Amino acid sequence: MSETLVDIKLPELFSAENAFEVSEYEKFLEHARFVVIPARKQEDWRYSKVGSLLKKSYKRIEPVSYELPEAVMRMIGDSYSVVLVNGQFNHKLSVIPDGSWLEIKAHTSVPENGIEPSIKNIFALYNTATFTTEVIFRIPEDSHIDKPVFIIHARQGNSGYCASRFVIDAAKGSSVSIVEMYLESSDEGLYNTHVITRLRESAEVQHHCAITSMAEEHVVRNHFVEQHKNSRYTTGHFIFGGRMIRNTLHIDIEEEGCETNLFGSYMLNGREQSDIRVVMNHKAGQSNSSQNFKGVLTDKSEGIFNGIIYVQPDAQRTNAYQSNKNIVLTDDATAYSRPQLEIYADDVKCSHGSTTGQLDQDALYYAMTRGIPRRDAELMLVSAFIREAINGIEQICLQEYLDHLLQKKFSQMQK
């Protein structure tokens, strides 16, 4: 029998101190009784550093004066932006659109959509009792948001806990583009983020996420997506460092005709760890999904990809693809890759694959014989490897910013 909160002491991380109301914390405990505590003995957490995280004690910290980095301001330009500093909405730094499709709320006892579908995830459950800000997108039917919406997470203060919640409800025929960014911080802390996205018939949502280099930061991000008939969902995830980054994507295709495109990259050095968990659940047929994640690792860093595609009995004529590729630059860096398929239908096209290796020495030698210094040649090869994921983004400003982060991270990896 699996250990639950009935059997063992609640880890220090999930303290009552971060809850806004005693009743909310009691509700969290009531549901958490049926949730397995993350541990390395479980397949989903086998290679994760979650054990050390659970022993931490992080507390909510008050918002402070903050200025956005110039490079971030250039990237945002005249787009809409929602800036959260220490988990709380900063109106001064944000640019909110006119109209009623974007709502920002401080913590309430009844979050949008309740606690579902997070019942089996203890971090998402804890988020419902401790989130400081809830951002709700209600995109009206047949409307197309004219500019991207940037969600900026910033944190200052050691041992800080930041919990935020996002609900994206795209009505029939609507479209919106969202860019979520976690800015660099030198302080130790934890982001606990919960995202729910629902795409109605023929809706289109692009939601990209970038986590900049944060050597002492922990990020646990749970994203649940529900797609309906003929909807299109695209998401790119880019990780440039962090003590432990756990990014979970759970996508349910509920009706036929859906398109889902997942891609991303991670570049790690030191003792950083990126842990990407993808659950792609095809419940209905005549839909297509693709996953393409790439990693570059050096020093004693760890990159983890754990993805599974389910094709249910009614999901005939499904096309599903999954790929994870890694470049390991040092002997002590480690890539764990576990792509999986579970198929219960017979009229499908599904494939998955994983490769891990070093830089192409022939290509490196060719570049160096043309007078290119070794460091520049290595950067060229790494950039070309990662660039495939970056090219999947439509926003040129975001592509340029990610290129900047790539070069900055590569410089750190060379020290």
- Report the alpha-carbon distance of residue 119 to residue 103 in Å, rounded: 25
Residue 117 confidence (pLDDT) above 50: no
Give the model's pLDDT for residue 111.
64
Please give the backbone phi and psi of residue 172, each rounded to the nearest 5 degrees, phi first.
-55, 125
255-309 pLDDT, tens digit each: 999 999 999 999 999 999 999 999 999 999 999 999 999 999 999 999 999 999 9
3-state secondary structure of 65: coil
- Report the alpha-carbon distance of residue 336 to residue 302 in Å, rounded: 8
Q: Cα 188 to the chain's mean position, in Å? A: 19
β-strand partners of 224: 196, 250
Residue 42 confidence (pLDDT) above 90: no
378-390 pLDDT, tens digit each: 888 888 899 889 9
3-state secondary structure of 56: coil
- Report the alpha-carbon distance of residue 246 to residue 265 in Å, rounded: 14
- Report the alpha-carbon distance of residue 280 to residue 278 in Å, rounded: 6
3-state secondary structure of 38: coil
Question: What's the rounded mean pLDDT across residues 32-53?
Answer: 86
Structural domain boundaries in the chain: 12-359
Please give the backbone phi and psi of residue 139, each rounded to the nearest 5 degrees, phi first.
-85, 120
Least confident of 202-211, 323-332, 336-345, 367-376: 367-376
- Report the alpha-carbon distance of residue 311 to residue 341 in Å, rounded: 8
Question: What's the rounded mean pLDDT across residues 208-223?
Answer: 88
pTM assigned to the model: 0.92
Give the model's pLDDT for residue 244.
93
DSSP state of 45: G
Least confident of 28-32, 100-104, 143-147, 346-350: 28-32
Q: What percent of the chain has pLDDT over 70?
A: 95
Q: Measuring CA to CA, which residue among 312, 293, 299, 246 is closest to residue 413?
A: 299
Could you tell me the two tokens for 131? Answer: 């989130």
SS3 content of the chain, % helix, strand, coil (to 5): 20, 40, 40
53-94 pLDDT, tens digit each: 998 889 988 878 889 999 999 999 999 999 999 999 999 999
- Report the alpha-carbon distance of residue 243 to residue 229 in Å, rounded: 39
Could you tell me the two tokens for 174? Answer: 């609507």
Q: Which residue has the higher pLDDT, 28 or 287?
A: 287
Give the model's pLDDT for residue 118.
47
Q: Is the peptide bond before 11 cis (omega within 30 degrees of 0)?
A: no
Question: Exposed, middle or buried by CB within 10 Å (0-12, 13-18, 19+), for 147?
Answer: middle
Q: How many Cα atoms occupy the beta-carbon half-sphere of 397 within 13 Å?
A: 14
Q: Cα 182 to the chain's mean position, in Å? A: 10
Cβ neighbours for 92, distance < 8 A, ≥ 6 positions apart: none
- Report the alpha-carbon distance of residue 273 to residue 255 in Å, rounded: 35
Could you tell me the two tokens for 135? Answer: 């951002």
Mark residue 86 as left, alpha or beta (left: phi above 0; alpha: psi -120 to 50; beta: remaining).
left
- Report the alpha-carbon distance of residue 157 to residue 142 in Å, rounded: 43
Other beta carbons less than 10 A from residue 374's beta carbon:
11
Other beta carbons less than 10 A from residue 66's beta carbon:
16
Residue 338 confidence (pLDDT) above 60: yes
Question: What's the rounded mean pLDDT across residues 146-172?
Answer: 92
Give the model's pLDDT for residue 260.
98
Question: What's the rounded mean pLDDT across residues 342-356?
Answer: 93
Least confident of 135-144, 338-347, 358-367, 398-407: 358-367
Please state, in angstroms and as integers, the Cα–Cα distance from residue 362 to each residue in 216, 298, 338, 368, following that order. 36, 20, 28, 10
Could you tell me the two tokens for 210? Answer: 């970038």
Residue 8 confidence (pLDDT) above 80: no
DSSP state of 95: B
Please state, in angstroms and as integers, the Cα–Cα distance from residue 366 to each residue in 15, 186, 370, following that order. 56, 39, 7
